[in-house]
Amino acid sequence: MTAPLCRVELFGGLRVVTPKQTITRFRTRKTASLLAYLAVNLHQTHPRETLIDLLWEDGDIDTGRTSLRVALSALRKQFQQADVPPDEVFYSDNFGIGLRSNAVTTDLHDMEQNIRLAHHTLEPSERALYLRRAADCCVGIPLPGFYDEWVLQLQQQTMERYFRALDELIQLLENEGDRDSAQEYALRGTALDRLREEPRMALMRLYLARGYSTEARRVYQEWESLVREELDAAPSHAMQQTAQQAEYAAQQARHSAQKLCESRLPTTPARLFGRERETAHVTELLRASTTRLITITGEGGIGKTALAIEVARRLVGKGQRAWFVDVSDVREGDALLEHILHTVGAAQYAEQPMDTAIQTLGGYPSLLVLDNFEQVDATGAKVVSELLQQLLLLQILVTSRRKIGLSEEQVLRLRPLEVPTFRAWQDESGGLSAKGTLETLEQYPSVQLFVQHAQTVRAEFQLTPENASAVAEICGCLDGVPLALILAASRARVLSPSQILRAIQQEIGVLSLPHTSHSERHRSLHASLEWSYALLSPDLRKAFAMLSVFVGGWDVSSATCMLTGQLESDNDVPDVTVLDTLDALIECSLVQMDEQDGQARYRMLEVVRRFALEKLQEGPYASDAFARHFLYYSRLATHAYANRVGPQATQWSLWVDREHQNMMEAIRYAWRRDTSRNDPAVLRMAANLWVFWMMRSILVEGRNVLDGLVADYREADDRETSYWWAWVAMGAGALAWVQRDLPVAEEMLHESLHRFEQEDDQEGQAFATIWLGNVFYRMSRYEQAEATHARGLVLAEKAQSAEARTYAMMWMGNLAQRAGDLERARALYQSCFHIAEESGDQYAMGFVHYNLGQVAFREGNNMECVRQIFRCLQIRARIEDHHGFLEAAETLTVLLARTGNDVAGAQMAGACETLRQRLYLPSSSSLLRETEDVLRLRMDKEVYQQQIKRGRSLSTQEVLALAESLI
């Protein structure tokens, strides 16, 4: 069965969703009504006279026929413009007009279909699943703004079915114990129809089940006021009974609180996103009673307080007493104990405050939550230790941006919420990609948190295909920090997600709240970070600010250069002072440490880094910090280029890949600093890096840099600057060649060659000439390409450049292969391989194996072709040339399909799809699609799908094993 071509959505407004665009505007209201009526009655044929009587009842029959014909023609034209063939969507015959149900889906039909499936299902969990899907279809009344009689009737009937399904769903979720979801759907129901009682009654019932009697009473009071003002009526008897239950529960809660010395916990949002594992872990530790002191640490706004409150609430639900004590205003231990006693409600002190604590908190399992402990001095830790010694049934849960430092303390470092990698969610137009389905995106806790808080300020806010990539990027830009996400979501009242994204990229100050119900440090991200900054010593403040220059992280070596000015040490032992500084910043939750490839790597969350950068620019160290950053990375770029061939090539290539953002930041700084445009430093750095950009397919950003430098430094008169300009121009031409921008590539390379000739630099001339030959080859100017490569080989031999000789001969081999002279091509490739092997140029060795595979294929030697492609895959996997690995894997897929090895071909095709997704490429190339079509036709459908699915799960090593098994 073919996939539908489009989807007509009626809830919340009429729109047509196609792969290319979403249509929301139509020629006339009658045209829109025609489409809506056909979509509502999807499986029916409608006589033209019926449609005319329904939509154009005021005119005569001839006028009506004309209007119907014009409206239908307008709709067909809109579908055609959206690349949806209208003949495959609309049908018309002698009997009437309709939509083809195999080509069109509707949200209304999906809702009704899921309701029917639910009613035919006895299993409660499966029934709830169908009802969820039905409820999720309804994002508003169907066809708002349409006032035709048939529409009003449709709205009434549809919403009645929706609310009946919603009531049943909420009850099922309650029975399953999923009160969070039940509450979410009840809130959604109240938002859709503010004058409907059932969702509000369900909400009251859920609040009472959670023990939130105050919230239940508030819902009733709001409802009572609303029905009196809007309907001049009173709540139903059932609603009044529920209100009485809420009042009784409130009285019981007050009585219980008094009996338990008033356990006191603040209210938090009903749902804590993405923290179930941490919550369960801490709760389990405290229930075991062997753990008595736990400190939750992390950056400001990371969600420490919310997690601690949820843990305490779970323990209270099991009969334990718990008190929440905000110690943010406490500085010394002497004041800490008095503040705790006041908060838990101790009416008077004994002679010693500790005796009062024993009387109040002893004798019964109790939990103290001490929130925001970081600013309390060392005497505070002594008070905590004494409380634990004196009160054997007491447990303490601390939230702090740094640990207390007691031996019995267990520390949980809270990380940001998981975020989607936003590039994976965008297609070429910036919309939702094939991989980025809404269903998958909604699983990320950072996205869930953003959407929930956006809905608190704008009830109708929904995650849609149009805003999904912006929401994903917001979550990524804010590193999944809950406070930052909440503050960003608060702007959804006045800004779209795309506008919010642009705002936070330009000004971090947009992350703020005016509401006075929040503490000062939680009203803005800036205030929260100021709180942490104030706790640092002057030396740590300086280090914190200077480290903000790093983009994307740093290691011990680069930190040493930044903090000491030392480019390299005499030994590999890290500077102890630098290590202590990093440790202190990690302790203060301002820096994070991760292990990558056996090495420690440090980073700041982006929102923290931008704050630190502000502090750097306010102080006197900014110039030094940026200069040290540039010197360090410029020097290492030089080393990387020198080692691009040889045993350390892979290590340096990976290093450049890891430090790409820092490299770009260093280039931008040097470029910005050199206003005279005569300093070779930035050109030298870019010249050393463009080969890596080409290998790693960093093409757009790389070309932007190289093209800009070529333009800005073209007239430089300094000889060294002119020399490096020639290499940069060569890089600009090479990257243009990769992107098949051949006229630009030719122009750049001619300029580069001319400059090298002026400088009498034979190696530069050799490489520029070889690249020109590549351009001519792609332009199909083969004779010119052959002559140019021959000249490049002569220049390479004069310059004694093994690398230039390798690539000149390789391209001469390509020309020979194209001309059908396979023997000469093989001889040239083998000569290339020997040179590349001697110099350790694995990148070139991979190309040679690939080209030898092509020769074998053209000779009909399929086994030799597979053998050479396998060796190419081995090398490209080893040097982590992901794009090259994909190229070879796709070539092998085509070969397998052409030689009838369908099972292996399908598996390899699935593996290629996964590789493309990891590289943020379209899910399939044209050649791969053609190959998959061939396999699909030859194979049983189920077997084909199984093998594709299996291939998608293969790792790189498993792909290699599959290729090796074919030899």
State the Cα–Cα distance between residues 315 and 322, nearest whole angstrom: 8
Quick: pLDDT tens for 276-289.
999 999 999 998 87
Q: What is the mean pLDDT of residues 247-264?
A: 56
96 in the Ramachandran plot: left (φ > 0), alpha (ψ -120 to 50) or beta?
Answer: left
Residue written as token pair 């209210």? 267
Strands 90-92 and 97-99: antiparallel
State the Cα–Cα distance between residues 398 and 391, nearest whole angstrom: 17
Q: What is the mean pLDDT of residues 460-483?
A: 90
What is the number of alpha carbons within 13 Å of residue 59 lying toward its C-beta? 13
pLDDT at 513 over 70: no
Q: What is the mean pLDDT of residues 780-804?
A: 95
- Distance, C-alpha 940 to centroid of its chain: 37
- The pLDDT score that the predictor gives to residue 585 is 93
State the Cα–Cα distance between residues 288 and 760, nearest whole angstrom: 79
What the block records as the tokens of 313 is 């609430």
Contact 924, 932 (CB under 8 A): yes
State the Cα–Cα distance between residues 345 and 263, nearest whole angstrom: 9
Instruction: Give, in order, the Cα–Cα distances in Å from 853 to each of 834, 856, 876, 926, 928.
Output: 17, 5, 15, 21, 18
- The pLDDT score that the predictor gives to residue 260 is 42
Contact 118, 127 (CB under 8 A): yes
Q: What is the share, in percent, of the chain residues with pLDDT greater than 70? A: 92
Lowest mean pLDDT among 288-302, 303-317, 435-449, 581-595: 435-449
Q: What is the mean pLDDT of residues 383-390?
A: 90
State the Cα–Cα distance between residues 741 and 745, nearest whole angstrom: 6
Contact 189, 198 (CB under 8 A): yes
pLDDT at 73 over 90: yes
Q: Which residues are registered as beta bridge partners of 293? A: 396
Contact 84, 18 (CB under 8 A): yes
Of residues 144 and 428, which shows the higher confidence score? 144
pLDDT at 271 over 50: yes
State the Cα–Cα distance between residues 653 and 374, nearest whole angstrom: 42
pLDDT category at 920 given cuts 50, 70, 90 is low
Quick: pLDDT tens for 135-187.
999 989 999 999 889 999 999 999 999 999 999 999 999 888 788 889 899 99
Lowest mean pLDDT among 25-29, 202-206, 370-374, 523-527: 523-527
Q: What is the mean pLDDT of residues 217-226?
A: 88
Quick: pLDDT tens for 681-697.
999 999 999 999 988 87
pLDDT at 351 over 60: no
Quick: pLDDT tens for 906-918.
999 999 988 887 7
Contact 339, 327 (CB under 8 A): yes
pLDDT at 646 over 90: no
pLDDT category at 572 given cuts 50, 70, 90 is low
Query: Over the chain, what is the mean pLDDT?
Result: 88
Cα dihedral sign for 21, 26, 29, 35? negative
Domains of the chain, first to last: 6-106 (1.10.10.10), 276-413 (3.40.50.300), 422-525 (no CATH), 551-619 (1.10.10.10), 860-965 (no CATH)
Those residues with Cβ within 8 angstroms of residue 733's Cβ, 6 or more apart along the chain or in another chain: 744, 745, 746, 747, 748, 749, 752, 768, 771, 775
Q: What is the mean pLDDT of residues 489-499?
A: 89
Quick: pLDDT tens for 719-732.
999 999 999 999 99
State the Cα–Cα distance between residues 683 and 502, nearest whole angstrom: 31
State the Cα–Cα distance between residues 63 and 56, nearest whole angstrom: 8
Contact 545, 615 (CB under 8 A): yes
Burial code (b: 16+ CB inside 10 Å, e: under 16) for 773-793 equals: bbbbbeeeeeeebbebbebbb
Alpha helix locations (H) across 346-429?
353-361, 378-390
Quick: pLDDT tens for 613-643.
999 999 999 999 999 999 999 999 999 999 8
State the Cα–Cα distance between residues 659 and 640, nearest whole angstrom: 11
Quick: pLDDT tens for 841-900.
998 999 999 999 999 999 999 999 999 999 999 999 988 888 889 989 999 999 999 888
State the Cα–Cα distance between residues 550 and 664, nearest whole angstrom: 11
Q: Is 691 helix (H, G, I), strand (E, B) or coil?
A: helix
What is the number of alpha carbons within 13 Å of residue 461 lying toward its C-beta? 25
pLDDT at 442 over 90: no
The residue type found at 651 is Q
Quick: pLDDT tens for 930-945.
888 888 889 998 999 9
- The pLDDT score that the predictor gives to residue 698 is 86
pLDDT category at 423 given cuts 50, 70, 90 is low
Lowest mean pLDDT among 239-243, 698-702, 717-721, 889-893: 239-243
- The pLDDT score that the predictor gives to residue 518 is 52
